[in-house]
């Protein structure tokens, strides 16, 4: 009997030692190399860094896939596919894309399909939305130490289907008639910093939006919230050109959006996601001011885009610009170009000199902060105003040089005193 007990004890010890040995081998195999993409497995003092490339190789091995079936990983449920691939499903889903800033993109559901094609090469499909009305994006990738290099393409797809992905977050989808198609090709890297775009090529075909009611703005007094307003209701003079130079230099040339600026803004957001850049045109900013608000989300940007598409058709450039000038916030509780000119410079908007209009337009990015900084860093303020002045297209070269020379010594007659006092706020009518 003692012999049997000793034998069982020896066997148990061997099993334990073998298990410990396997754990040590697995731990050693999962240990990341320097500069390799990694994540931490476990929690507390048991948490250990693990190589993501190694984990992906293990997860896609035929012997491992059945053991992963039904497991959950950070909101995704894994499934082994009959064709040998892996499938991950989430409902609802939250994606955080650095190109869109810090706010997460929220969708009702999504499915990611992955197949291993040998030697760290993979391909698959990203399916967004319910199967009955889904959008499929094929992709392929190659794993390296720093991450997975990806290429994906969205074939021309009806814009209305893309809008439908956001559900109730885009309420305009239930009333608007949305036409046209959207395509996309992108290259990216998925690694420790998340999904980082390296190349993006969007393509639009025949976009048109009806049914949002923006035609009512043709005769509406949108500037009623901002007082005073100019005689006759029109804002004329250099302030128009200065605002275009500061906010949207190609305003009269684009259809309400600029694809190149979207791509540039996406890359900039990856470097500084806390300082979200949206590449909004004047038309899109007007949509934000009048309809969508300024929530930082992909759904809000999509709503803004739909309104901009319709406003370009129903209102035209001239009316859009007048509405924008009538409702722009300009710091110190002031809104509208006429009120801003009188409050900050003590004269009507149509009497502003080019340098005055350029200085006023240079305040539009965070105007309260720009006003506070003027007394402590006039050089930076003058540089911003000079950049706007140089961008005014209708200004003859000789006049531009004279205005730039004058700007070097010019002081805003009201602006300096505003920094040391609390001005009376203009009375605003209800929107």
The per-residue pLDDT for range 190-240, each reduced to its tens digit, is 888 777 888 889 999 999 999 999 999 998 887 777 878 787 778 999 999
pLDDT for position 213: 95
The contacts of residue 262 (CB under 8 Å, 6+ apart) are 202, 279
Specify if 324 maps to a domain. Answer: yes
Are 204 and 224 contained in the same domain?
no
Are 84 and 200 contained in the same domain?
yes
pLDDT for position 347: 92
Specify if 39 maps to a domain. Answer: no
Specify if 427 maps to a domain. Answer: no
User: Which of 148, 179, 208 marks a domain boundary?
Assistant: 208
Residues facing residue 149 across a β-bridge: 142, 189
Are 193 and 294 contained in the same domain?
no
Listed in order, strand segments (DSSP E) in 159-268 are: 177-191, 194-210
Residues of the chain with pLDDT under 70: 1-34, 36, 41-47, 98-103, 266-267, 269-279, 414-431
Are 320 and 364 contained in the same domain?
yes
The contacts of residue 330 (CB under 8 Å, 6+ apart) are 336, 337, 339, 340, 343, 344, 360, 363, 364, 367
User: Which of 208, 237, 270 marks a domain boundary?
Assistant: 208
Q: Give the span between the Cα atoms of 110 and 73, in whole angstroms.
A: 14
Are 247 and 306 contained in the same domain?
yes
- CA-nearest of 159, 262, 263 to 207 is 159
Are 73 and 135 contained in the same domain?
yes
Phi, psi of 274 (to 5 degrees): -75, -20
pLDDT for position 75: 81
Specify if 356 maps to a domain. Answer: yes
Specify if 42 maps to a domain. Answer: no
Are 66 and 202 contained in the same domain?
yes
Are 204 and 165 contained in the same domain?
yes
Q: How many CB atoms lie within 10 A of CB 205?
A: 11
The boundaries of the domain holding residue 229 are 213-418
Q: What total number of domains does the chain contain? A: 2
Are 139 and 97 contained in the same domain?
yes
CATH of the domain at 411: 1.10.3810.10
Specify if 10 maps to a domain. Answer: no
User: Which of 161, 180, 208 marks a domain boundary?
Assistant: 208
Provide the edge-to-edge strand list for the sheet that holds 110-116. 72-73, 76-80, 86-90, 110-116, 121-128, 135-144, 147-158, 177-191, 194-210
Are 274 and 399 contained in the same domain?
yes
Q: Give the span between the Cα atoms of 402 and 184, in whole angstroms.
A: 47
Are 246 and 189 contained in the same domain?
no
Specify if 270 maps to a domain. Answer: yes
């Amino acid at each position: 009997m003692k012999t049997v007990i000793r034998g069982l004890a020896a066997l148990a010890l061997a099993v334990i030692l073998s298990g410990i040995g396997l754990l040590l081998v697995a731990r050693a195999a999962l240990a990341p190399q320097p500069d390799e993409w990694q994540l931490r497995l476990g929690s507390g003092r048991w948490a250990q860094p693990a190589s993501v490339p190694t984990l992906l190789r293990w997860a896609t091995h035929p012997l491992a896939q059945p053991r992963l079936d039904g497991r959950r990983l950070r909101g995704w449920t894994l499934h082994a596919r009959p064709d040998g691939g892996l499938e991950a499903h989430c409902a609802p889903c939250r994606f955080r894309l650095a190109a869109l800033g810090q706010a997460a993109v929220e969708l009702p559901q999504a499915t990611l399909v992955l197949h291993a094609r040998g030697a760290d090469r993979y391909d698959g499909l990203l399916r967004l939305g319910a199967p009955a009305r889904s959008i499929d994006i094929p992709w392929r990738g190659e794993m390296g130490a720093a991450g997975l290099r990806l290429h994906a393409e969205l074939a021309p797809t009806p814009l209305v289907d893309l809008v439908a992905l956001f559900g109730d977050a885009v309420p305009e989808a239930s009333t608007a008639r949305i036409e046209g198609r959207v395509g996309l090709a992108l290259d990216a890297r998925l690694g420790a910093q998340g999904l980082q775009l390296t190349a993006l090529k969007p393509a639009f075909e025949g976009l048109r939006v009806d049914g949002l009611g923006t035609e009512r703005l043709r005769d509406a007094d949108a500037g009623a919230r901002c007082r005073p307003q100019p005689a006759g209701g029109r804002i004329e003079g250099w302030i128009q050109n200065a605002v275009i130079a500061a906010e949207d230099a190609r305003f009269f040339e684009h259809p309400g959006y600029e694809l190149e600026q979207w791509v540039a803004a996406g890359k900039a957001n990856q470097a500084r996601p806390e300082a979200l850049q949206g590449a909004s045109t004047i038309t899109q900013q007007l949509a934000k001011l009048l309809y969508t608000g300024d929530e930082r989300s992909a759904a809000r940007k999509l709503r803004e885009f739909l309104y901009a598409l319709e406003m370009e058709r129903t209102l035209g450039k001239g009316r859009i610009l007048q509405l924008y000038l009538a409702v722009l916030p300009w710091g110190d509780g002031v809104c509208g170009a006429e009120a801003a000119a009188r409050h900050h410079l003590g004269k009507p908007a149509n009497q502003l000199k080019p340098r005055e209009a350029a200085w006023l337009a240079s305040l539009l990015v965070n105007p309260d902060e720009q006003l506070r900084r003027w007394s402590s860093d006039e050089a930076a303020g003058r540089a911003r105003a000079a950049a706007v002045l140089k961008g005014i297209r209708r200004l003859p070269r000789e006049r531009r040089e004279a205005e730039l020379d004058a700007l070097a010594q010019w002081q805003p007659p009201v602006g300096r005193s505003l920094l040391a006092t609390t001005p009376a706020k203009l009375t605003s009518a209800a929107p």
